Amino acid sequence: MQNFQYYAPTKVVFGKDTETETGKLIKEQGGSRVLLHYGGSSAKKSGLLDRICASLEKEGISYVCLGGVKPNPRLSLVREGIELCKKEKVDFLLAVGGGSVIDSAKAIGYGLANEGDVWDFYAQKRTASACMPVGTVLTIAAAGSEMSNSSVITKEEGWIKRGYSSNYCRCRFAVMNPELTYTLPKYQTASGCVDIILHTMERYFSKESGTMLTDSLAEGLMRTVMNNAKVLMKDPQNYEARAQIMWAGSLSHNGLTGCGMTEDWASHQLEHELSAMFDVAHGAGLAAIWGSWARYVYMEKPERFAQYGVNVLGIPMDCSNFARTALQSIEETERFFQALEMPISIHELGYDLTEEQLQELAFKCSNEDKRTIGGFRVLNREDMLKIYRMAK
């Protein structure tokens, strides 16, 4: 078990009608002039933005709007947001949406609280020393950005997708009303569930030992998401199932499921290149990659995959042959992805890639052959290429 820090200061306000508390929560944080940041038109059409605006007005909080955040949020809009906020003297950033909107708000926050070009942080050229306060009304359960320290931005020039993490950007509050996720398309719901499970898997698949508590929390979380994701495929307006998934999304990425672990994150890195190049839904991209990653690495410590299979999927343990139980757990996970109508290959994701494109993915993912990825098994460019080929 590794030493660890756990710091998840976001105030979560969870349940029905909680969006009406938004104004009060911003006031509590000292905000008086807000950027209302959002994505497409659904928040407007559903009346959610109106309810939030009413809640701000009730507290005497003024606001300016900036919509148009796209999945895999773009640097150009971040820059636009920074300029707008400077001009409008904004002191609080409210993200109404899912991970993309929150990540965009976090990037705007970095840009406002630090001198120089905001992309520098994502390019790992320097570190931020502050971030303007961000809060969120969450409408998609997936990315976990509402409690996490991370944000991921895509630079259109070269379609480079990069993440930056620091405690400064953690949301001051997160309003989570599971009802707001009722109208998500099936594909997006499923993709979100995969993302949530993967956030825990990236921490769970580790060679660490002596982490029974973190393991049991992670296993319980994964079981819960798998169980309730299937409910939502048939009954998308099931409040309890939406609630379990939504809360799991936050706990999966706020650090809790990684306490004491050495983490992996290879699947995420492999997928980031895919979704930067082809603009696919992040969760779907993860589903397309994960099985190939797992088959490539599981022999590093088959007991770990076997434990996952037994404790999460209910596969009987074969202690004389961990590898067999491990392989079964990988197959069973892919069957779960398929039950959610998620792809388990890049082909099923909708792309038939040439060898040249696979090479390009591996080249980019290895940062032009300058980095390795993965903690469970360290992967170099050659390994990445092999996994992309397996996932083809």
Q: Measured between alpha carbons, how far is residue 380 from residues 176, 195, 208, 374, 375 in Å? A: 39, 24, 21, 9, 12
With 0-12 CB in 10 A as exposed, 13-18 as middle and 19+ as buried, what is 84? Answer: middle
The 8-class DSSP code of residue 25 comes to H
Is residue 187 a contact residue for a second copy (CB under 8 A)? no
Q: Which is nearer to a second copy, 262 or 372 (CB)?
A: 262
Q: Which is nearer to a second copy, 227 or 338 (CB)?
A: 227
Listed ranges 33-41, 92-100, 109-117, 204-212: which one lies at the site for a second copy (CB under 8 A) = 204-212
Q: How far apart are CA 315 and CA 329, in angstroms?
A: 7
Q: The tokens 């259109």 sit on which residue? A: 156
In single-letter form, the type of residue at position 17 comes to D
Among 101, 107, 112, 243, binds a second copy (CB under 8 A): 243
Q: What ranges make up the beta strands (E) of 146-248?
A: 150-155, 160-165, 173-176
Is residue 16 a contact residue for a second copy (CB under 8 A)? yes
Q: How far apart are CA 142 and CA 148, in angstroms?
A: 12
Among 45, 239, 369, 382, binds a second copy (CB under 8 A): 239
Is residue 223 a contact residue for a second copy (CB under 8 A)? yes
Is residue 159 a contact residue for a second copy (CB under 8 A)? no
Rounded least distance, CB 301 to a second copy, Å: 17
Rounded least distance, CB 250 to a second copy, Å: 9
Is residue 128 a contact residue for a second copy (CB under 8 A)? no
Number of residues that bind a second copy (CB under 8 A): 40
Picking from 96, 199, 103, the residue whose alpha carbon sits closest to that of residue 149 is: 103
With 0-12 CB in 10 A as exposed, 13-18 as middle and 19+ as buried, what is 125? Answer: exposed
Q: Which positions ≥6 away from 326 have C-beta within 8 Å?
A: 298, 302, 303, 304, 305, 306, 309
Is residue 251 a contact residue for a second copy (CB under 8 A)? yes
SS3 374: coil
Among 53, 84, 259, 310, binds a second copy (CB under 8 A): 259
Q: Which is nearer to a second copy, 107 or 194 (CB)?
A: 194
Listed ranges 77-85, 156-164, 215-223, 270-278: which one lies at the site for a second copy (CB under 8 A) = 215-223
Q: Count other Cβ atoms within 10 Å, centred on residue 385.
A: 19
Q: Count other Cβ atoms within 10 Å, centred on residue 9.
A: 11
Listed ranges 96-104, 241-249, 278-286, 331-339: which one lies at the site for a second copy (CB under 8 A) = 241-249
Is residue 317 a contact residue for a second copy (CB under 8 A)? no
Among 159, 182, 187, 247, binds a second copy (CB under 8 A): 247
| Tokens linked to 152 | 């991921």
Is residue 224 a contact residue for a second copy (CB under 8 A)? yes
Q: Count other Cβ atoms within 10 Å, centred on residue 197.
A: 28
Rounded least distance, CB 6 to a second copy, Å: 4
Rounded least distance, CB 177 to a second copy, Å: 9
Q: Which is nearer to a second copy, 85 or 196 (CB)?
A: 196
Picking from 176, 247, 151, 205, the residue whose alpha carbon sits closest to that of residue 16 is: 176
Instruction: List contacts with a second copy (CB under 8 A).
Output: 1-9, 11-16, 18, 209-210, 212-214, 216-217, 219-221, 223-224, 227-228, 239-240, 243-244, 247-248, 251, 256, 259-260
